[in-house]
């Protein structure tokens, strides 16, 4: 079995099955931008800024976890995706 990893698709297998790139960042981009705008409006050192900062970090962590989960599923199941 051969695997071609590319830019347009996540991978193309030798039996011509295509695994598409899920683009998790692009789907969460609006939510992240809104959270970052809210963070930028907060006064430095305030408790509300800390909450907003935690919210932005939570969104970044979610994107990272989605990517890791996809990679894990792709490596375990391979052809099923």
Its pTM stands at 0.79
CB 70 within 8 A of CB 22: yes
pLDDT reported for residue 52: 98
In this structure, is residue 2 part of a structural domain?
no
In this structure, is residue 36 part of a structural domain?
yes
The pLDDT tens digits for 23-57 are: 899 999 999 999 999 999 999 999 999 999 999 99
In this structure, is residue 65 part of a structural domain?
yes
CB 18 within 8 A of CB 80: no
What one-character DSSP code corresponds to residue 8?
S
pLDDT band at 2 (very low <50, low <70, confident <90, very high): low
CB 27 within 8 A of CB 34: no
Domain count for the chain, please give it. 1
Domain that holds residue 74: 22-80
In this structure, is residue 12 part of a structural domain?
no
In this structure, is residue 17 part of a structural domain?
no
Give the residue from 21, 24, 16, 23 showing the smallest Cα distance to 6.
Answer: 21
């Amino acid at each position: 079995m051969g695997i071609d990893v590319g830019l347009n698709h996540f991978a193309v297998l030798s039996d011509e099955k295509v695994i598409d790139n899920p683009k998790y960042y692009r789907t969460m981009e609006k939510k992240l931008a809104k959270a970052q705008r809210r963070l930028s409006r907060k006064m430095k050192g305030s408790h509300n800024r800390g909450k907003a900062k935690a919210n932005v970090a939570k969104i970044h962590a979610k994107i990272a976890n989605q990517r890791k989960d996809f990679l894990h599923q792709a490596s375990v199941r391979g052809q099923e995706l």
